[in-house]
Chain A
């Protein structure tokens, strides 16, 4: 669904050699940018035993403003999942994607100890769980950096940043003005949507971010997506919409791969041959049902 960068040629005359040459240079540079950006996306997803993680990423142009990331936090033994959408598309958004992804990941991995009061954590709310202080620090400091240093450029990002504990199914998250992920039961019921717990990063310097929690029981899934999914338009301009997405997410499926392929196929059918207007990112996190985990363990698979 990726489109070729459009270059304007005047009227019906054949393009001049210099135009073609400039186009080729531009195309090559964009290809390099695309390859570098691909390096910012995870190659192989680290999937804990008893879990499934599947992602689909389709940029609207050569380079994208969407991104996703999945990585392990070794000391705290949590797995981080990020799905984000930088405003705008193309090269500008891609540059900010690289910046925001790096700030978030580096800070959550190396942030160290931070005063609970500096984090804006009210001690009367009890203690943060493992990973929640670095999570809050990563989002806070990324937001402060963007609003302090890059305020003039006006770029911002909505994002969902979650850390899950593979042993308990507990997911701690911050939803920064992002499309609420869908929490779906093993039988397909929609259990809830993870509403924003703060604004988009890069907008308000003194924004207040809170940590939310949700527990995934065996067989339950989280569907994370960017608005490229719900805003996918048909040839007559109809949006794919959240209801279609919920209906598809609610169909029983044997695996996260089946769940994601089903949605991707529906998006392709809905979009037809029309131009893809926005980057599409979709990630499914599924905790295997206990029977599946037992079978996996018996087979020595992870």
Chain B
């Protein structure tokens, strides 16, 4: 059975898309069949993370939702580059959303049938025989994010390890309980050096969950972003090790 995983955060800047792409790469390297869908239709990022520079017309997830192309025109296989200990035994697929402003405007203004999201998740899971379907969402509670949460078996909730996110942590945890029946994982991000003493424990208490991984803020992420996947460029990096913790937690939950 396909495990559907949403990466969610209440605020932006937590590294959802980067985490989604890199964790997907690790899982595929372990031999799994993985697809990543960009449901952040208003701020798409996935194409860039997978190094897809040009998106030909009528080949994006946005076009599918607008009824302008079949789902299979959107699916792109991402080659797994051999790198250090990373395996290449699985398959990785990406479904980018459109980054053209006029199309973002179109889908914002015209809307689409939200049932097509669910149909896409089902078709991808079955036809590609996926082990994991990873949904990159936009921050906050857009309709796509609500749909992704509703359709997921696992929600990876990312929060910045600071007081601002801590203040909304309990509210956010309650919200997720209301919006999803899936299991929750908590990931903290953006910590430069040591986070304030006891902050992680306060997050754990607010969510009622252990922290699965703490992602350090690393300058190299922005250096390679848009060119190669971080874990392929830095397979031995501490951040790669943190992504590995998330991948292993997902594998254990499968």
Contact = CB atoms under 8 A, between A and B. Distances in A.
A133 interface: yes
A127 B113 contact: no
Interface in B120-168: 121, 143, 146-147, 149-151
Contact of A127 (B66, B67, B121, B178): B121
Contact of B113 (A115, A116, A123, A131): A131
B121 to A, nearest CB: 7
A116 B112 contact: no
A17 to B, nearest CB: 59
Given A74-B67, A76-B67, A123 B146 contact: yes
A127 B150 contact: yes
Contact of B119 (A111, A113, A116, A130): A130
A115 B179 CA distance: 13
Contact of B151 (A113, A115, A117, A126): A126
A265 interface: no
Interface string A126-155: 111111111000000000000000000000
A4 interface: no
A16 interface: no
Interface string A102-123: 0000000001111111000001
Interface string B198-236: 000000000000000000000000000000000000000
How extensive is the interface on chain B, given as a class? 20 to 34
B118 interface: yes
B61 to A, nearest CB: 14
B115 A76 contact: yes
B251 interface: no
B195 interface: no
A301 interface: no
B178 to A, nearest CB: 8
Nearest to A132: B115
A75 interface: yes
A13 interface: no
Contacts of A298: none
Contacts of A117: 146
Contact of B115 (A112, A125, A127): A127
Contact of A113 (B67, B112, B150): B112
B83 interface: no
Contact of B146 (A76, A116, A126, A132): A116
Interface string B171-194: 000000011110000000000000
Nearest to A126: B150
Contacts of B110: 112-113
A116 B180 contact: no
Given A124-B179, A126-B151, A127-B114, 11 more contacts: A113-B113, A113-B143, A114-B111, A115-B143, A123-B147, A123-B150, A124-B181, A127-B147, A127-B150, A129-B118, A131-B113
Interface of A: 74-76, 111-117, 123-134
Interface of B: 66-67, 110-119, 121, 143, 146-147, 149-151, 178-181
13 contacts: A74-B67, A75-B66, A76-B115, A76-B116, A112-B110, A112-B112, A116-B143, A123-B147, A123-B178, A126-B150, A127-B151, A128-B115, A134-B113
What are the 5 closest A-B residue pairs judged by CB atoms, nearest first?
Answer: A112-B111, A113-B111, A75-B67, A127-B118, A123-B150
